[in-house]
Amino acid sequence: MKIAIIDSGEPEKSKLNIIKSINVTESVQKDENGHSTAIYKILERYLNEEDEIINIKILNKDLKGSSFELLKALNLLKNEKVDIIGLSLGTTTYKHVYGMHKAINYLIKQNIVVVAAKNNSGKISFPAEFDKVIGVGNSMVDVNEKKCFIDYFNTNIYLNINEELDIENKKIELIGNSYLVPHIVGLTSKILKENSIKDLEELLYILETEKIEELSIENEIL
144 has pLDDT over 60? no
| Distance between CA atoms of residues 205 and 201, nearest Å | 6
Q: Comparing C-alpha atoms, which of 110, 1, 113 is closest to residue 54?
A: 1
Q: Tell me the H-state helices in 44-96.
A: 67-76
| Distance between CA atoms of residues 104 and 7, nearest Å | 17
3-state secondary structure (DSSP) of residue 102:
helix
* pLDDT of amino acid 131: 95
pTM of the shown model: 0.94
| Residue-wise pLDDT tens digits, 160-208 | 887 888 777 677 788 889 999 999 999 999 999 999 998 999 999 999 9
Q: Tell me the H-state helices in the chain.
A: 35-43, 67-76, 97-109, 181-194, 200-206
Query: Which amino acid is present at 178?
Result: S
Domain residue spans of the chain: 2-214
What DSSP designation does 44 have?
A: T
Please give the residue that has the higher pLDDT: either 114 or 215: 114
| Distance between CA atoms of residues 5 and 170, nearest Å | 24
CA-angle at 201, arms to 142 and 53, nearest 5°: 95
| Residue-wise pLDDT tens digits, 6-58 | 999 999 888 999 999 999 998 899 999 889 999 999 999 999 999 999 999 99
Query: Which amino acid is present at 156?
Result: N
| Distance between CA atoms of residues 15 and 44, nearest Å | 7
- Please check whether residue 152 is in contact with residue 201, taking contact to mean a CB–CB distance below 8 angstroms: yes
- Please check whether residue 76 is in contact with residue 125, taking contact to mean a CB–CB distance below 8 angstroms: no
* pLDDT of amino acid 222: 45
- Please check whether residue 54 is in contact with residue 5, taking contact to mean a CB–CB distance below 8 angstroms: yes
Active site amino acids: 7, 35, 178
Give backbone dihedrals phi and psi of 209, rounded to 5 degrees, phi first: -90, -20
CATH architecture of 2-214: 3-Layer(aba) Sandwich (3.40)
